[in-house]
Amino acid sequence: MEDVQKSQATIAMPIDRVGVKGLRLPIIVRDRESGIQHTVAQVSMSVDLPAEFKGTHMSRFVEALEHWEGTLDYNSFRTLLDDIVDRLQARSAHLRFVFPYFLRRRSPVSKAGGLMDYTCRVDGNLKEGKLTFTLGADVPVMTVCPCSKAISDEGAHSQRAEVRIRTRFDGFLWLEDLIEIGERAGSCQVFSLLKREDEKYVTETAFANPTFVEDVVREAAKGLDEHPRVHWYKVEVESFESIHNHSAFAVIESGD
């Protein structure tokens, strides 16, 4: 049958990325405590397209995913990218996995157990045989406003914030390392299950450690600076303000 995708493009213009997104796939990731963890990823896959071709072969992305082994690590990720490049005869390929990662957290006083989920991601760009590999985690924390506390006769406004960490590194890096760096950066970490004595502890801990969004992003960046394996990072903190109809945010990106 006629290969329409390889026909001449009406407008001879190269495309940086063309592909598929929103695919859901069961995967296995490494878990520091249990060894492995089963989860479900949303996947996006794309390649470059030269100016002379009308389109790419979308079905080949799905074929590559169907032949992939399903365990997510650096080597398997690289293998999948290599397969995408080969199948689509591309010069570069991009791949993203976004998935919930679960950790069992015990509340600080009662020690009641509950699962916390963190949105994690792996991004990779393969170009001319060189892979840029990025690992990230979005970490919820609690913050208390130092200004509000200083000027108020009673209380201060508090809210959840999200610490979004993206890293490049040498060797192997646990997702738990990124999550713990993010949790230490806020006024207090958050939990899925709290009894009254836990709620008292969390509230008092947070109010004893008020933090601006600027404080949180700096603390997270400091933790990443001190990690022996991380050689590049980007941290964004978004505070979902409880007394405003907008968010506050701050970003730090390291040099490579």
State the pTM of this model: 0.92
Beta pairing partners, 63: none
Give residue 70's domain range.
Answer: 13-253
Question: How many domains are contained in the chain?
Answer: 1
Please indicate, yes or no, if residue 171 is contained in any of the structural domains.
yes
- The per-residue pLDDT for 256 is 61
Please indicate, yes or no, if residue 2 is contained in any of the structural domains.
no
Please indicate, yes or no, if residue 5 is contained in any of the structural domains.
no
Question: CB burial class (10 A; 0-12, 13-18, 19+) of residue 35?
Answer: exposed
CATH code of the domain containing 174: 3.10.270.10
- The per-residue pLDDT for 4 is 43
- The per-residue pLDDT for 136 is 98
Please indicate, yes or no, if residue 4 is contained in any of the structural domains.
no
Mean pLDDT by 10 residues, the chain (256 residues): 53 85 96 95 93 79 94 95 93 96 96 96 94 97 95 92 97 97 97 96 96 98 97 98 96 87
Please indicate, yes or no, if residue 112 is contained in any of the structural domains.
yes
Q: If you write DSSP's letter for every residue of 173-229 in order, what string do you get?
A: --HHHHHHHHHHHSSEE--S---HHHHHHHHHHHHHS---HHHHHHHHHHHHHT-SS
